[in-house]
Amino acid sequence: MFALQFFGGLFGLLLGADMAVGGCMRLARRWNLPPWVTGMLLLALGTSLPEFFVGLSASAEHPGLALGTVFGSNAVNVGGVFALMLIFAKKGIPLRAAGLSTLLALVTGSGLAFWAFSAPTPSVIASSGLLGLFAFVIWATLRDGRRRKNADPVSSLKESFPTSLLLAMGGFVLLAFSSTFFINGALGFAELFGWREGFVGYVIVALGTSAPEMFTSIGAIRRGHPGVVFGNILGSNTFNLLMVGGTVGLMAGAPIDVVSVQPQLWVNLVASLVLLIPLLRGRDESRGRTKTALWMGILLFLAYLAAARWIGSL
C-alpha cells in the first residue's frame, strides 16, 4: 500500500508542478514580465515546488525527513543532474560567471544552515536568516531584470487570466494533496527497511522530488538550450536551501536527529561550493564538451554515490 502511495504521490507532484509552472508562465506573459526574470524565478520555483510542499507537510512531525529532502535534492541536482548533463551533453554546458549574488547567497546559506540545524531544536534566528537571504535573492534578481529589461524581448502574447489563474491554483492544490501521500509512502519504506527518516529523505524522497530538474535539463538540451541547465540547478538549490530549509526550521514541531543531519550539512556545503567553480574560472565554457567537463561530471557523480553510501551507513 505504501508503494502505491509513494508512486501515486510522486506522479501527482510532477503533474502539479507542471500545471503550476504552466499557469505561472502564462500569468508572467500576460503581465509582460521580462523573460530573464520569469525564467530565473518561475522555472526554479516550479521545479522546486515538490520539495517545498513535501517540506511543508513533513516539518511538523518529521523535520528530519523534510531536511533530508532539502539537502538530498541539492546533492542530487549537483551530483546527479548536473553531473550527468556534463557527461552526456555533447555541445557542452555553458558555465557562465553570472548570478554572483545568488551564488554568494547560496554559499552563505550553506554555512548558516550549520547554525540552524546543529541542535535538536532548530535556531529561529538562523532559520529566519535563511528566509532573509532568499528575499535578498529575489530582490537582486528583480533588480538585475530591470537593468536588462530593454535587452530582453517581452512577449506580446496575452493569455486568458481566468484560465491561467485556474491552472496555477489547480497545480498548487494538487501539489499539496499529493505531498501527503508521497510522505506516507516514504515513511512506509523507512519502516520496511529500518532506515532513518533523514536517510529516506536524502535518497528516496530527494530522487523523486528532483525529477523535475532532471526532466527540465534533458528537455532543454534536446531543444538546444543547454544554458538553462546551470541556471535551473542554481535557482533550484537556492530555493530548496533558503526558502524550504528556512520554513522547515521555523515550523519544526519535533526534535531533529542531529547525527543524521550533520553529514548532510557538509555534503550540501560542498555541493554549493562546486557551483562556484564557473565563477572562479571566470570564463564561459560553451564551445562543446571538453575533457575537463567530462571528468568533472564523472567525479561529481561518483562523489554523490559515495556521499549517499556514507550517510546511509551512519
The larger pLDDT score, comparing residue 275 to residue 196, is at 275
pLDDT digits (tens, 9 = 90+) for 240-253: 999 999 999 999 88
Average pLDDT of span 118-127: 93
Q: What are phi and psi of 239, to 5 degrees?
A: -65, -45
| Residue among 143, 60, 116 at smallest CA distance from 268 | 116
Greatest C-alpha distance within the chain: 56
Domain borders along the chain are 35-153+194-313
- Is the pLDDT at 303 greater than 80? The verdict is yes
pLDDT digits (tens, 9 = 90+) for 219-234: 667 766 666 677 778 8
Top mean-pLDDT range of 18-27, 127-136, 211-220: 127-136
- Which alpha helices (DSSP H) does 194-210 contain, by range? 197-200, 206-209
pLDDT digits (tens, 9 = 90+) for 142-191: 776 566 554 444 444 556 778 888 887 888 788 777 877 877 787 787 77
Residues shown for the chain: 314
Q: Give the per-residue pLDDT at 207.
A: 76
The larger pLDDT score, comparing residue 193 to residue 283, is at 193
Distance CA 89, CA 37 (A): 25
User: 35-153+194-313 has which fold?
Assistant: A middle domain of Talin 1 (1.20.1420)
| Residue among 135, 134, 136, 114 at smallest CA distance from 126 | 114
Residues 6 or more apart in contact with residue 293 via CB below 8 angstroms: 86, 92, 93, 285
As given in the structure block, the three cell numbers for residue 207 are 530522487
pLDDT digits (tens, 9 = 90+) for 265-301: 999 999 999 888 765 554 444 455 566 778 888 999 9
What is the reported pTM? Answer: 0.78
| Residue among 237, 289, 310 at smallest CA distance from 89 | 289
- Is the pLDDT at 40 greater than 80? The verdict is no
Cβ neighbourhood burial of 24 (10 Å; 0-12, 13-18, 19+): buried
Helix (H/G/I), strand (E/B), else coil: 15? helix
- Is the pLDDT at 139 greater than 70? The verdict is yes
Distance CA 69, CA 77 (A): 12
